[in-house]
């Protein structure tokens, strides 16, 4: 009998009861806008910022409307101007080059390695093209952050980290998002904490924090923040920083705070599942496991493997055969963008030079979400199905 998987790859766990209660309290008092507080009240949004700053060890934190908004805000706060170039990963998701384009700047793509991280040699050769790197930790893979920071610091290139997939991850024990000058996170449903939409931005730089706060739409109410610099810093920037409205509201923050307290536990659960799938895939002929560096603490909320140098037809066949058995694989290498996946050369608003070495890797990246609604048995079954189908096509 052929085994079939019947679970749903896009089904999250429900919002925890504690978060639902907190959301109901906000709905009952009606003060959803973050600056609408009664005397002495601390807004859920301000508390979320304070708690996330403490959790990451950052001095300052700002909650905003989305991860993409956090990225664009980081670029604006740093002072990137229309027409400027910004280095970024060729292997990332559309909102990353989109954030760069949203302020009229131009992405310059840097290649990807078989570890699915930014190609540091390619980066070194392009450091003279920009003062800013928007580093996307795509699918939760951290590059050698020691070397990256060393070469960027030496070249005077500011690093903004896109931590949409690395909330809770770490490099040599330091939280992801703390190596660069700014770290940006997403609280969108498919990431590590879920408020539907939402974003967080952290930094230790007081001026960047003040600018980001005013940019997000604080008006002159920034003193209601608990993880922002003092008013003297705002005095320096408040007349010259535009309001590009993109605040988070108290309802989302209320939903997120209990999830944030639970994050470490959820990471353990994601990683149990990840390890189970990885174990099941290891040794499959034709399939390359993406090995994780020892210095990296990852969050296995999705898993990738490579079908290197496979023809598009054979990859399509693997996907078809897996899909027929209920296993949804995503292919980042497809020539046409579909669903959430796309390649750097499908963002045609960017003039991009070809990256042949990266094209070889991109065309072999298979991706799968690992929702926490899957049991460990589910994970073992999924791995068996992939193993059988990859093997069958490989040997045909
Ligand atoms: C989701 C995502 C973003 C953007 O986050 P949103 O909250 O959806 O705007 C940025 N980068 C990557 C890699 C993502 O996956």
To test the ligand 1 pocket, which listed residue (64, 67, 142) has its Cβ within 8 A of the most ligand atoms? 67
> Could you tell me if the CB of 95 is within 6 A of ligand 1?
yes
For the segment 139-189, what is each residue's pLDDT rounded down to a tens digit? 999 999 999 999 999 999 999 999 999 999 999 999 999 999 999 999 999
CATH architecture of 263-395: Alpha-Beta Complex (3.90)
Taking the centre of ligand 1 as the mean of its atom positions, its distance from the CA of residue 67, in whole angstroms, is 5
CATH topology of domain 17-261: 3.40.640
Phi and psi, residue 382, nearest 5°: -60, -45
> Could you tell me if the CB of 56 is within 6 A of ligand 1?
no
For residue 21, which of 49, 55, 42, 44 has the smallest C-alpha distance?
44
CB atoms within 10 A of CB 80: 23
To test the ligand 1 pocket, which listed residue (65, 66, 68, 256) has its Cβ within 8 A of the most ligand atoms? 68
Concatenating the DSSP letter of every residue in 365-384 gives: EEEEE--TTS-HHHHHHHHH
pTM (predicted TM-score): 0.97
For the chain, give the percent of residues with pLDDT over 70. Answer: 100
Instruction: Say how far apart CA 71 and CA 147 lie, in whole Å.
Output: 23
For the record, the structure tokens of 292 come out as 């994780």
For the record, the structure tokens of 381 come out as 């079954």
Taking the centre of ligand 1 as the mean of its atom positions, its distance from the CA of residue 277, in whole angstroms, is 24
For the segment 53-110, what is each residue's pLDDT rounded down to a tens digit? 999 999 999 999 999 999 999 999 999 999 999 999 999 999 999 999 999 999 999 9
CA angle 97, 274, 61 (to 5 degrees): 45
Structural contact between residues 180 and 169, judged by C-beta atoms closer than 8 angstroms: no
pLDDT score recorded for residue 328: 94
Strands 330-331 and 365-369: antiparallel
> Could you tell me if the CB of 73 is within 6 A of ligand 1?
no
In the chain, ranges of CATH 3.90.1150.10 domains: 263-395
Q: Which atom of ligand 1 is nearest to the CA of 139?
A: 13
> Could you tell me if the CB of 164 is within 6 A of ligand 1?
yes
Residue 338: band (very low, low, confident or very high) from pLDDT cuts 50, 70, 90:
confident
Structural contact between residues 189 and 196, judged by C-beta atoms closer than 8 angstroms: yes
Q: Which atom of ligand 1 is nearest to the CA of 92?
A: 13
Structural contact between residues 256 and 187, judged by C-beta atoms closer than 8 angstroms: yes
> Could you tell me if the CB of 166 is within 6 A of ligand 1?
no
For the segment 255-271, what is each residue's pLDDT rounded down to a tens digit? 999 999 999 999 999 99
In the chain, ranges of CATH 3.40.640.10 domains: 17-261
> Could you tell me if the CB of 258 is within 6 A of ligand 1?
no
For the segment 353-364, what is each residue's pLDDT rounded down to a tens digit? 999 999 999 999
Predicted confidence (pLDDT) at residue 313 exceeds the cutoff of 80:
yes
Active site residues: 191
pLDDT score recorded for residue 387: 98
């Amino acid at each position: 009998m052929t085994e079939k998987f019947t679970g749903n790859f896009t089904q999250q766990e429900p919002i925890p009861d504690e978060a639902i209660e907190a959301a109901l309290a906000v709905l009952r008092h009606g003060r959803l806008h973050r600056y609408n507080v009664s005397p002495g009240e601390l807004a859920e949004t301000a508390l979320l910022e304070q708690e996330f700053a403490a959790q990451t060890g950052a001095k300052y934190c700002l909650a905003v409307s989305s991860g993409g908004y956090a990225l664009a805000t980081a670029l604006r706060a740093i002072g990137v101007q229309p027409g400027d170039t910004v280095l970024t990963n060729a292997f990332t998701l559309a909102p990353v080059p989109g954030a760069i384009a949203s302020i009229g700047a131009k992405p310059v793509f840097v290649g990807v390695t078989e570890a699915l991280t930014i190609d540091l040699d390619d980066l070194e050769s392009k450091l003279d093209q920009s003062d800013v790197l928007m580093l996307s930790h795509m699918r939760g893979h951290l590059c050698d952050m020691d070397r990256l920071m060393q070469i960027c610091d030496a070249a005077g290139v500011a690093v903004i980290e896109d931590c949409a997939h690395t909330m809770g991850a770490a490099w040599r024990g330091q939280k992801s998002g703390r190596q660069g000058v700014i770290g940006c996170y997403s609280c969108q449903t498919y990431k590590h904490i879920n408020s539907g939409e939402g974003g967080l931005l952290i930094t230790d730089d007081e001026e960047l924090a003040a600018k980001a706060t005013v940019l997000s739409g604080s008006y002159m109410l920034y003193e209601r923040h608990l993880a922002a610099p003092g008013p003297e810093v705002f005095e320096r920037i408040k007349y010259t920083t535009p309001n590009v409205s993109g605040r988070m509201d108290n309802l989302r923050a209320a939903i997120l705070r209990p999830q944030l307290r639970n994050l470490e536990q959820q990471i353990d659960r994601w990683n149990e599942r990840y390890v189970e799938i990885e174990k099941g895939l290891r040794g499959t002929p034709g399939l390359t496991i993406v090995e994780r560096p020892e210095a990296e603490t990852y969050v296995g909320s999705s898993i990738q493997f490579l079908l290197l140098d496979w023809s598009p037809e054979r990859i399509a066949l693997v996907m078809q055969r897996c899909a027929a058995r209920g296993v949804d694989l995503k292919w980042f290498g497809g020539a046409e963008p579909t669903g959430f996946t796309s390649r750097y050369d499908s963002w045609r608003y960017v003039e991009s030079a070809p990256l042949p070495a990266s094209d070889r890797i991109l065309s072999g990246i298979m991706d799968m979400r690992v929702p926490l609604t899957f049991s460990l048995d589910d994970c073992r079954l999924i791995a068996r199905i992939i193993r059988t189908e990859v093997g069958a096509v490989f040997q045909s």
